[in-house]
Structure 1
Amino acid sequence: MWTRLVGIIFATLVFSGPGVADPSFWKHEWPATDFSRTQISNWAEILSGGPPKDGILALQDPEFIHAIKDTRIKPREPVITLEIDGQSPRAYPLRYLTWHEIVNDRVGALPVAVTFCPLCNSAVTFDRRVRTRTLTFGVTGKLRNSDMVMYDRETQSWWQQAVGTAIVGELTGTELRLVPSWLESWEEFRTRNPMGLVMEEPPFNRSYGRNPYRGYDSRKRPFLYNGELPPHGIPALARVVRVGDRAWPLTRLMADPQITEAGVRISWRPGQASALDTGRIARGRDVGSIRVRDSQGRDVAHDVMFAFAFHAFWPDGVWMLGK
C-alpha cells in the first residue's frame, strides 16, 4: 500500500508541470509499445502506481477446487462469480485478486480476463479475444484516474481497466467485450454451487485475506485523484452500480432492494463484506451484493465501482437518483 502511495506521490511531483506533453519518460520501460498511437491527450494523467511492469503479478490459468472443499475463505468474503452456460460456475476470491488484479483464464472455449482494481473497486470480466488473436493481460503498474492500466503481452498496448478500451499502442481504440460477472459473498456462491469451482490459493508469498488498502473506502478523496468530484453531493468513494453509461447509487439499492429501470432489474441483498474496509477482508462492513438482469432474466454485465471513477470515465453519464 505505502509503496504504491510513495510511487504515486513521486510521479505526481515529476509530471505535474506544464512541460509534460509526450510519453518519453515511459518509452525506456516500454520499448515495444507504439506510443504514436494513443487516446491520451494529457500524459500527466498517467502516474506510476509504485510497482513496475508486472510488479503486481497477473495470474495465468489458475488451479481450481470444488467449492465444498475450500476451508480458507470466510463466508462474507467477496468473490467474483462467473457462470457460463454449459460450464461449472467459477468463483474468483478478492482475497487473491486484491494482490494480483488480473486472472487470465479459460472457461470452456471462452478465454477471459477477470479483473479487479482496488483503487476504483472495479471488478469486471472481459473476453480476451480481439479480432483473430487471444490476448494475455498483465499489470503495467500505471494508474489513470486512479484506475489500473493493463497491457497485453502480444502487442504491448495499454488498456484502461474500468472501460476495457486500449488507450496506447497498436490496438488503441479497440474495446474488449464484457462478460457478465458479479460480486457476491462466498457463502452465497457456495450455497448455490456446492460443486462449483473456486480459484485455489496462488503459489506466491502474499498475505492473502489481508486488505492492504485498509480504510480506503471511508476516505473523502481517492489517492491523488485530481479530476472532478461526482455531482449531486455523492461522496467520491461511494459505491455505484454501473450499467453502460448509467449509475445507480448503492445507497438507493440498500433502501429499495429491487429496482426496475432503463431495461434492467437490479437487486441487492446483504451479506457481502467490503474488501477495502478493515485490515482483514472477512471483517469488512456489509455492503451487500448486487445482481443485474434484463427483462428476460439474463445476467447483464455491470460494475460496482466508486462514484469518482464513474464520473471520471463517463463524465456525461446518467445518474439514476430516483428523484
Structure 2
Amino acid sequence: MVGAIASKTVQVHLNRRCNLACAHCYSASGPRETEQLPVAALIDFLEEAANEGYGVVAFSGGEPFLYDDFAAVLAAAKALGLRRLAVTNGTVLTGRRAAALALLDLVAVSVDGREAVHNRIRRSPTAFARMLKGLDVVRGAGLPFGIAHTVTRDSLADLPWMAEFAVKQGARILQLHPLGMVGAAQEGLAGAQLDGEILARTWLTALALQADYGERLAIHVDLFNRATLAARPDLVVPGEGGAAGNPRLSDILNPLVVMANGELSPICHAMGPGFRFGRLGSEPLPEIARRFRRSTLGDLRALCHGLWQEVVDDEEGWPYLNWYELLETRAQLQLVH
C-alpha cells in the first residue's frame, strides 16, 4: 500500500495562488499570494530534469489550474516524454483551464470528507459543491483520476465514507495523506498532530478497506512500516544503493522538489532553507546537481541516516510512522541548533 516514490519524480509547485485558503495547506497558499514560477525557465528545467533521469512530473501549488501557462508547461512535458500528474481542489475546472486536463495522465482531486467537514477545512461554504462539479468535468474528460484525502483526527472515522465516495465518483485511487504540521496547519490546525495510535489506526483501516474494495479502488497511505524501513534504508536515505560512478541526479535524489519561489529542495517541501541547493533558471541543472553532490548530499544523507537509525532502534515505538513529517521536523531542528 505504501513505500518510497518508485518513479523518479519532480514535484513542481507552480504557484502559491489559490482561490481557497485551506486550514491544512502545507504551502500556506491563498487568494492573495502571487508567487509563481517563470514559464520559460520551468520548461527549460523540465528538459534538464528529463536528461537527469526523472520520468514523472507532479504539479501542485497553490492551485495549479490557476497557473496561466499550465497548458504550455504540460505540452512541453508531454513532448519530453514525461508522465504528467496534478493535484487540484477541483473548483476552477472551467473553460481553458479544463482543457488542460487533456494533457495530463492522471489528476487527483482533494477531498477532506463529508460536505460540512470539507467546507470547514476549505474555509468556504461552497467548496464541496464546486468540487463535485469539478469531478463531473474530470469524468467528462475521460481522464483517470484519484481522490486525495488529508487524514486528521476528525476524519479517521470517516475513511470508510471516503472510500465509498471515491468508488461512487469513479476514482481509481484513494490517496491517504496523514496531516503534517507544516505551513498553514501550524496555526489553522494547531494541536491536531497525529500520534502513533492514530497512524496505526489509519494503516489498519486502509488495509481493511483495500480488502473490501479489491481491484475497484487502489488505496495508498503515505506511511512507512518500521520493520520495512529496518530492512530497506535505501527507501529513505538518498543515494543508498544508488548507481555507482557518476550517477544522474535522479539516481541519488527522489523526489526533487521545485518550490513556487524557484528554489530546489530535496525530498520534501518543508525541509527548510539549509537544505535547498539551487534556484530555477539561475544556472543549468547539471551544474546545480554537481554542487549538490559536493555539498548538500553529505549533510542530507547524514540527516536521513541518523533519523532512520533512531526509528529502527526504537523498539517500543508504534509500527507505522509519517517519515516525511519526521524528516521535515528534524531538518528544522538541525537548522535551529
TM-score range, shorter chain: under 0.3
TM-score scaled by length of structure 1: 0.26
More helix by share: 2
Q: Which has the higher strand share?
A: 1
